[in-house]
Each structure stands twice: as structure tokens, then as C-alpha cells.
């Protein structure tokens, strides 16, 4: 342990997870600590709910279940004259809303004479209210709902009279069915009259259409006219012939132009592919080829002057001239062929124009004819449809078509539906719990006091030496010196832990004098200092407890019960009237514990302490005692402690948990540091014993589970008769 006087607090390995668990645990513990507030809120809300349940009127609900039909009931397979499709969800919801329409409710009031019914009016005597008010009242009593994924609708009526609720529910369904039947019959009769008038009009129009068609037939001179598509094959054939003639003319024109360009070049002309295949030159080419073959054979056997050689050469020359002559005649033949192709093209073009004109003429006649024919067919079909509808309407006039069908009539309810006792109580309990939690957390957020070890170390910057719980021994008539109790006492264990924490602050030679103070009164500094001294004495150390609070001394009252007058003490020693031996007092049954009272009342305690700050008293006491514990006044109340603190080796600040605001505590620490006090740490006193399992930092119940046996200690404490009997008090001394 370092000699700086501060305890090292190890950091958790996973700070985030630890803080999260700590926050949740803190909130849960906060709710458990102030569970009485939550319980009061729950009791209050339950009380309010009970009063409401006792005063609330009992409301009964009667429900009639109806089925909305998807199509009207008919005896023959016909369509309705009035379009009223009930297949969509919107139309079904519309039908459900019609069940609570104001005209229907007004008729129900009139039929059932509700304007004269006291159960409906809610009063007796006096004139009945206005009809609109009655309808509004009934409208508030009626609820219509459509069951999900079905065509079933609930007509629910709420009333204080169960019989009246069932009567109104059944009356609404019955009157709606009757009015719907009357309305539909009226609509059917109106539709029948309209159809009769429409049939007469359509009959006259059909006759006019047939007369117009017949007149056009007579004008056209034919019974029936063909469709314009009749001329398409001949028109297409004429176009094909015209195309072929045009292609042939183009081909012959090209050949003619090419041959004309080569009339002076016979060899090139004969080399043309189309000339080579020309039928007119086939024989000349064969003779020329034969002559060439014979001449080639004779050249091998005879000389040029041989008669056969000359004869064969003459035939070859003649065949060549014939071939050339016939080739030069080709342009004329191609010209004649080209002119013939042009004539054919002209004729085919004229034939196409004639076919197109004929098709247009017949097409115009066919359009007029088809238009009149379609008009006749349309009038005939419409007239037949109206006649069929007229017959069906006459048949359906006598049929009662129902849109809704009663599945379950409303019965008189036996038990009220409102108020719902269990639900209201459950809501009251939940509201009380939520309100209580909000109140607890709100009070906690407004509380500026120190409430936990983590908060104390974070806000004050000092280690918390120990947490002193609310010790039950001090509240049951037992001695207040719990630090000297049995080893199994929770109070004794708490002060032993404090003794160990202070002993670990440094060397024993540097930790012989201890000063206990607080920021404000009633924080338990006297209780803490006295029990800490008792725990030191229990360890075998000669311990001296000095009451240095000269203004409101409490050590004498704490140890003796206040039965004696002010004993001689610190003031008498500082004024020189008494020596140290004369003011030392032993406590029976505590051989190692000696104490000094504050002494007689001094008129100027601040000046008295400011002379040497108990330096002489402490020096003389350390020669005879192992440890000296000084109990002083609160720092913010008077300045006496600031004059003493610099002469003491270790100063301990006692903070009352959930009581002292942080600002006075921080102010106290600032003053002590300025006064040169050697601060050792903070003792968190009167920490509430939380419900549930816990440990040092979050729950002082650690001292009651496993490491102490309070019940046994209390039984042993009550059985002791030789113990001194100080006046019982509280640990906030």
C-alpha cells in the first residue's frame, strides 16, 4: 500500500460490461429500497379503481350476429337489375355501417316506442327529449363490427337494462331487413317500368335500322356485298406481273446498252457471257470451231501453198465472217426484245390501276353495307336483352331478396360487460407500479446526496474506507458500542473492516492519531469514532477516545447515557484546571478503552482550541496510549475542527448516506485541505440494507449473509446482564 493515504481501487477487466451490470443493479436496488413508495402508489390506484368500480353503472351488452350475403338469393340464375355487388370488402363494410344509420335508428325508436321507455331515457317524468337527441343516444349505444376474414357482423347494443339491450339489437336487424326488402321491391318496380319504355323505343329503332339496310340493298342492286378483301388476290397477281415485266425490261435494257457499246469490238462482244450463250450464234460458233480444228490438223501435214491448206483456210475465214456478221445483228434483236418488255410493263401497270379502282369502288359499298348491318344486329341484340331483363324483373318483383341473414339473435345478457373488474384492477396495479417507479426514479434524480460508494469516490475524489450499515442492534435497546461486540456481530464486523482499511493507509507509527468529523450534524461521526475506538481496544491496543466537540459534546452521552453532569475533560485540561490523569476515564468491561469528555462548558471554545490545537494533549496522550481517536464538531457548522485537523495524522470524513448533499461535503473537503488536514478517506454511514443479495459497494447485506449471525448475536446480547447500560440511541449521533 502506498504511503499517500489513498486506497488503490482495481479497475475491472471489462469496464463497459461492469458499468452496465452496475447500472441495472443500481436501478433494481433503488426500486427495492423504496418499495414502500411503489406499494403506496399501487394501493392508491387500486383504491381509486375500487371506488370507481363501486360507483360505475353496470352496463350490459347484447349482440346479434348476422351474415352479409355475397349475392342475393334467387330461384333462377339471373343477374340483378340493380347493380349491388357485395363481393368486395368495401361494400361489406358499407353494409355494416348501414346497420347503425340514423334513419334506421330513428325508425327503431319509433317502432319500439323508446321515447316512452324510462330505461332508455334514463329518467322518469317530464317531457321526452328531442328526436335528434334520442337518435344520438341510441347511436352511442349501438356498435357494429365486422369479424375479420368472415362475412359475419356483430350488432352490439349496450344498456343498463339487459332486456332492453337484447330488444334493440334484434329490432335493428329486423327493421333493416324489412326496410331493405321494401326498398329493393320499389327499385325493382321502377326498373320494370323503365325497361318497358326502353323496349318500346328499341323496337322502333330496330325497325328503322332494318328498313335502312333494305333500302341500301335496293340502291346497290345486290342482296349482299362482298368484303373488300375479295379483290386482294387479283390485285396481288397484277402487281406481281407488273413487277416481273419491270424486271425483264430493266434486264434487257442493260444488255442492249452493253452490246451497243461493243459493236466495234467483235472479239470483246463475242467474249461476253450473255453473247456466248445466245442461241442465234450457237451454229456459227460450232462451224467456226470445227473449221479451226481442221485447219489446225492440216497445218501439221501441209504447207501453206498446198491446195487443201488454202481450201481449209478459206472455209475458216468464211466461218469467222459469218460469226461476226451474226454477232453484229445482236443489238437489233435485243432492241426489239426491250421494246416488247416495255409494252408488257405498260399493259401490266394499266391492269393494276384498273384492279385498284374496282376494289375501291366495292370497298366503299361494303363499308356502308356493313355499317347498316352491324347497326341492325346491335339493335336486335339490345332489344332481345331488354326483353329478357323485363321478364326477369317481372319474376323477381315477387321474390324477397335478403342482403343479411340472422345467424344468432341477441339474447338477454346475464352478467354485465362493463365495468371489467379484473381488467380495471390489472390496469390500476400496472399504473400504480409505473407511477411508483417514475416517482422513485424522479425522487432519486432530485436527490443530491451521496448514495453509493461509486458516487462518493467519483464526486469526492477520496477512497471510501468502509460502509457502515443501519445496524439493528442500535434500534432494539442494545448498547451502542457495536464495535466491541462478538466476532459474529454485523456491527462489529463493519468496524473491524474500517480498522483494517485505516491500518492499511501507511506505517503504524504514522497512523496513531485519528480525527473523525463530518460536514453537517447528525451524520454519525460520534457513533463511528466511538465504535472505531472500541474495535481498536478489542484488538488489544490501548486506545484513547477524546471528545473535542466543545460546543455540542456527545461522547459522554453516548457512553454513559447522559445521567451525570458535564464531567471534567478537554476544556479543563486546556485551561490548566485539570491534569491528564484527572480527566481519563475507563469504560467498564472495556479494559483497553479510555475516554475523555469534553469538559465543562467553555465560553470561547474556538479561541481555546486555537491556542495549540490540542497539540499538547495529543503529545502527552501518545506517550501512554497506542492509538488516539478524536471526535470533533461538524466542519460547516463551526471552525473548531479546522484548528485541530493539522495536528492529527489521519482525518476521516463521516458522510451519512442518502442524507447529506454533495455541495456541503465538497465544501468541507476543500476547507480541510486548506487547513492542512491529512485526509485518509470517507466513511459512508447509515447505508440502507438493501433487499436482495449484494456485496460491499452496492449492498451492505454482505454483513448479514454468511459472515455474521445477527439473530444469535441479538439473543446473546439480550442474555448479558453484566454489560453497562448506555442509553439506546441511533447511529446518527
What CA–CA distance (Å, rounded) separates 680 from 650?
6
Q: Which three cell numbers stand for residue 595?
A: 475516554
487 and 618 fall within a common domain: yes
Return the C-alpha torsion angle 372, 375, 381, 385, nearest 10. Answer: -150
Residue 732 lies in a domain: no
Q: What is the mean pLDDT of residues 2-9?
A: 44
Q: Give the DSSP letter string of 438-466.
A: HHHHHHHHH--B--SHHHHHHHH-S-EEE
Residue 214 lies in a domain: no
380 conformational bin, left if phi > 0, alpha if psi -120 to 50, beta if neither: alpha
**Side-chain half-sphere of 511: how many Cα atoms within 13 Å?**
18
User: Of 387, 408, 429, at which residue does a domain stop?
Assistant: 408
Digit-coded pLDDT (tens) for 540-565: 999 999 999 998 998 988 888 766 67
CATH number for position 694:
3.40.50.300
Digit-coded pLDDT (tens) for 379-410: 788 878 877 776 766 655 555 455 788 999 99
Helix H, strand E, coil C: the string for 3-16 is CCCCCCCCCCCCHH
Beta carbons of 627 and 544 less than 8 angstroms apart? yes
Digit-coded pLDDT (tens) for 605-632: 888 888 876 899 999 999 999 999 999 9
Can you give the pLDDT at residue 706? 38
With vertex at residue 344, the alpha carbon angle to CA 342 and CA 346, rounded to the nearest 5 degrees, is 70
492 and 578 fall within a common domain: yes
Can you give the pLDDT at residue 393? 66
Average pLDDT, the chain: 78
Please tell me what DSSP assigns to residue 129: P
Beta carbons of 191 and 82 less than 8 angstroms apart? yes
Q: What is the mean pLDDT of residues 41-64?
A: 92
Q: Inform me whether the pLDDT recorded for 104 exceeds 50.
A: yes
Residue 222 lies in a domain: no
596 and 462 fall within a common domain: yes
Residue 206 lies in a domain: no
Contacts for 313 with CB less than 8 Å, ≥ 6 apart: 295
Beta carbons of 636 and 552 less than 8 angstroms apart? no
Q: Inform me whether the pLDDT recorded for 587 exceeds 60.
A: yes
Please tell me what DSSP assigns to residue 20: H
241 and 94 fall within a common domain: no
Chain mean position to CA 100: 36
178 and 238 fall within a common domain: no
**Side-chain half-sphere of 207: how many Cα atoms within 13 Å?**
5
Residue 166 lies in a domain: yes
Helices and strands: H and E segment counts in the chain = 25, 12
* Residue 54: φ, ψ to 5°: -75, -30
Residue 552 lies in a domain: yes
pTM over 0.85: no
What CA–CA distance (Å, rounded) separates 128 from 456?
74
Expressed as residue numbers, the domain containing 598 is: 447-719
Other residues' Cβ atoms within 10 Å of the Cβ of residue 179: 15
Q: What is the percentage of the chain residues whose pLDDT exceeds 90?
A: 26
Residue 382 lies in a domain: no
608 and 635 fall within a common domain: yes
Can you give the pLDDT at residue 487? 54
Beta carbons of 121 and 128 less than 8 angstroms apart? yes
Q: How far is CA 541 from CA 461, 498, 508, 535, 590, in A?
A: 31, 15, 12, 9, 11
364 and 267 fall within a common domain: yes
Strand order in the sheet with 590-596: 464-469, 679-687, 650-656, 513-518, 627-631, 543-547, 590-596, 585-587
Q: Inform me whether the pLDDT recorded for 415 exceeds 50.
A: yes
478 and 508 fall within a common domain: yes
350 and 371 fall within a common domain: yes
Q: Which three cell numbers stand for residue 134?
A: 334520442
SS3 682: strand
Digit-coded pLDDT (tens) for 644-682: 999 999 999 999 988 889 899 999 999 999 999 999 999
527 and 648 fall within a common domain: yes
Q: What is the mean pLDDT of residues 314-325?
A: 74
285 and 337 fall within a common domain: yes
Beta carbons of 165 and 138 less than 8 angstroms apart? no
Contacts for 406 with CB less than 8 Å, ≥ 6 apart: 64, 65, 66, 67, 173
Q: Which residue has the higher pLDDT, 109 or 566?
A: 109
Q: How far is CA 333 from CA 252, 255, 336, 339, 364, in A?
A: 10, 11, 5, 10, 48
Please tell me what DSSP assigns to residue 131: H
What is the band of 320 on the pLDDT scale with cuts at 50, 70, 90?
confident
What's the structural domain count of the chain?
Answer: 4
Residue 620 lies in a domain: yes
51 and 90 fall within a common domain: no
Pairs from 637-642 (Cβ < 8 Å, separation ≥ 24): 637/520, 637/521, 637/551, 638/551, 638/606, 639/606, 640/548, 640/549, 640/550, 640/551, 640/605, 640/606, 640/609, 641/515, 641/517, 641/548, 641/672, 642/671, 642/672, 642/674, 642/675, 642/677
Can you give the pLDDT at residue 44? 95
What is the band of 329 on the pLDDT scale with cuts at 50, 70, 90?
low
Can you give the pLDDT at residue 710? 46
* Residue 549: φ, ψ to 5°: -90, 90
Buried b (16+ CB within 10 A) or exposed e, 328-347: eebbeebeebbeebeebbee
Least confident of 331-335, 511-515, 545-549: 331-335
* Residue 126: φ, ψ to 5°: 85, 165
Please tell me what DSSP assigns to residue 483: G
Amino acid at each position: 500500500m502506498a504511503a499517500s493515504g489513498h486506497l488503490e481501487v482495481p479497475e475491472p477487466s471489462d469496464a463497459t460490461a461492469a458499468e452496465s451490470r452496475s447500472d441495472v443493479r443500481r436501478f433494481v436496488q433503488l426500486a427495492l429500497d423504496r418499495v414502500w413508495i411503489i406499494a403506496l402508489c399501487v394501493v392508491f390506484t387500486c383504491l381509486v379503481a375500487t371506488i370507481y368500480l363501486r360507483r360505475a353503472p353496470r352496463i350490459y351488452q347484447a349482440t346479434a350476429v348476422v351474415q352479409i350475403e355475397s349475392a342475393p338469393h334467387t330461384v333462377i340464375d339471373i343477374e340483378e337489375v340493380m347493380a349491388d355487388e357485395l363481393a368486395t370488402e368495401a361494400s361489406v363494410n358499407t353494409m355494416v355501417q348501414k346497420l347503425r344509420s340514423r334513419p334506421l335508428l330513428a325508425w327503431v325508436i319509433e317502432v319500439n316506442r323508446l321515447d316512452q321507455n324510462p330505461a332508455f331515457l334514463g329518467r322518469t317524468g317530464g317531457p321526452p327529449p328531442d328526436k335528434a337527441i334520442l337518435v344520438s343516444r341510441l347511436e352511442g349505444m349501438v356498435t357494429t363490427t365486422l369479424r375479420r376474414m368472415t362475412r359475419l357482423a356483430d350488432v352490439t347494443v349496450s344498456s343498463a337494462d339487459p332486456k332492453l339491450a337484447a330488444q334493440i339489437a334484434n329490432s335493428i336487424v329486423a327493421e333493416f331487413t324489412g326496410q331493405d326488402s321494401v326498398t329493393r321491391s320499389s327499385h325493382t318496380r321502377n326498373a320494370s317500368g323503365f325497361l318497358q319504355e326502353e323496349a318500346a323505343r328499341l323496337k322502333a329503332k330496330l325497325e328503322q335500322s332494318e328498313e335502312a339496310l333494305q333500302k341500301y340493298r335496293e340502291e346497290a342492286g345486290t342482296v349482299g356485298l362482298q368484303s373488300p378483301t375479295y379483290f386482294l388476290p387479283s390485285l396481288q397477281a397484277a402487281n406481281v406481273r407488273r413487277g416481273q415485266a419491270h424486271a425483264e425490261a430493266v434486264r434487257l435494257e442493260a444488255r442492249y446498252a452493253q452490246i451497243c457499246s461493243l459493236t466495234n469490238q467483235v472479239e470483246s462482244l463475242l467474249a461476253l457471257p450473255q453473247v456466248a450463250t445466245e442461241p442465234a450464234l450457237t451454229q456459227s460458233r460450232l462451224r467456226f470451231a470445227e473449221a479451226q480444228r481442221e485447219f489446225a490438223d492440216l497445218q501439221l501435214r501441209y504447207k501453206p501453198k498446198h491446195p487443201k491448206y488454202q481450201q481449209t483456210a478459206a472455209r475458216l475465214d468464211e466461218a469467222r465472217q459469218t460469226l461476226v456478221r451474226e454477232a453484229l445483228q445482236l443489238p437489233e434483236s435485243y432492241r426489239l426484245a426491250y421494246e416488247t418488255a416495255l409494252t408488257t410493263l405498260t399493259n401490266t401497270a394499266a391492269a393494276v390501276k384498273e384492279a385498284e379502282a374496282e376494289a375501291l369502288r366495292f370497298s366503299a359499298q361494303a363499308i356502308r353495307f356493313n355499317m347498316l348491318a352491324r347497326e341492325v344486329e346491335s339493335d336486335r341484340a339490345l332489344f332481345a336483352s331488354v326483353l329478357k331483363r323485363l321478364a326477369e324483373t317481372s319474376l323477381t318483383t315477387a321474390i324477397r331478396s335478403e342482403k343479411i341473414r340472422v345467424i344468432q339473435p341477441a339474447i338477454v345478457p346475464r352478467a354485465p360487460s362493463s365495468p371489467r373488474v379484473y381488467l380495471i384492477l390489472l390496469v390500476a396495479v400496472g399504473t400504480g407500479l409505473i407511477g411508483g417507479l417514475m416517482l422513485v426514479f424522479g425522487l432519486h434524480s432530485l436527490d443530491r446526496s451521496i448514495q453509493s460508494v461509486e458516487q462518493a469516490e467519483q464526486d469526492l475524489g477520496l477512497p471510501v474506507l468502509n460502509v457502515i450499515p443501519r445496524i439493528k442492534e442500535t434500534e432494539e435497546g442494545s448498547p451502542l458500542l457495536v464495535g466491541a461486540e462478538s466476532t459474529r456481530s454485523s456491527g462489529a464486523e463493519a468496524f473491524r473492516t474500517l480498522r483494517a482499511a485505516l491500518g492499511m493507509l501507511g506505517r503504524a507509527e504514522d497512523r496513531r492519531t485519528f480525527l473523525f468529523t463530518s460536514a453537517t450534524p447528525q451524520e454519525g461521526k460520534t457513533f463511528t469514532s466511538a465504535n472505531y475506538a472500541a474495535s481498536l481496544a478489542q484488538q488489544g491496543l490501548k486506545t484513547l477516545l477524546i471528545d473535542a466537540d466543545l460546543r455540542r459534546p456527545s461522547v459522554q452521552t453516548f457512553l454513559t447515557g447522559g445521567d451525570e453532569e458535564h464531567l471534567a475533560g478537554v476544556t479543563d485540561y486546556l485551561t490548566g484546571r485539570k491534569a491528564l490523569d484527572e480527566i481519563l476515564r475507563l469504560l467498564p468491561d472495556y479494559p483497553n478503552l479510555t475516554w475523555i469528555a469534553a469538559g465543562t462548558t467553555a465560553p470561547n471554545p474556538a479561541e481555546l482550541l486555537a491556542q495549540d490545537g490540542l497539540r499538547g494533549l495529543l503529545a502527552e496522550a501518545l506517550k501512554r496510549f497506542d492509538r488516539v481517536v478524536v471526535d470533533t464538531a461538524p466542519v460547516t457548522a463551526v471552525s473548531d475542527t479546522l484548528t485541530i485537523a493539522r495536528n492529527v495524522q489521519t482525518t476521516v470524513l463521516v458522510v451519512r448516506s442518502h442524507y447529506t448533499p454533495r455541495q456541503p461535503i465538497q465544501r468541507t473537503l476543500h476547507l480541510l485541505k486548506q487547513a492542512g488536514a491529512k485526509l485518509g478517506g470517507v466513511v459512508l454511514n447509515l447505508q440502507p440494507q438493501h433487499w436482495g443479495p449484494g456485496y460491499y459497494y452496492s449492498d451492505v447485506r454482505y454483513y448479514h449473509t454468511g459472515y455474521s449471525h445477527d439473530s444469535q448475536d441479538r439473543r446473546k446480547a439480550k442474555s448479558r446482564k453484566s454489560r453497562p447500560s448506555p442509553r439506546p440511541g441511533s447511529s446518527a449521533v
